[in-house]
Amino acid sequence: MKEFLISQFIDDELDLREKKLFVESVHNEEEFYEETISSIDFEMVMKNRISEVQTPQLNIPKAKKISSYKNLTRFTQLLAGETCELQICNIQAGS
């Protein structure tokens, strides 16, 4: 249960009342205090490691631009082909 509270405290998931209770508990229990400090230290180390990781640089070429007229013509041709295929399928299915 204490680990869960520590995690919520670190991730800022507690409301003010819960934070006050957490701090009071940490203040009153030496073991809880040590566990909390250890968890915070661990989080700091992990965040530093994550920030040190470099993302690979990708060389992705830009797509070639095709005029909108060619795109429209190609789309129309594809659509006409689909319509034609559907009509042929309907004719064959009706036979």
Cα–Cα distance between 70 and 47 in angstroms, integer? 50
Please state, in angstroms and rounded to a whole number, the distance separating the CA atoms of residues 61 and 27.
58
Residue with more model confidence, 4 or 61: 4
78 pLDDT tier (thresholds 50, 70, 90): confident
3-state SS, residue 12: coil
Q: Which is more confidently placed, 91 or 56? A: 56
Give the CA dihedral 39, 45, 47, 49, nearest 10 degrees. Answer: -150
* pLDDT tens digits, 6-62: 888 888 898 999 999 999 999 999 999 999 999 999 998 888 877 666 767 777 777
Q: Look at the pTM and tell me if it is higher than 0.75.
A: no
Position of tokens 């064959």?
92
pLDDT reported for residue 10:
87
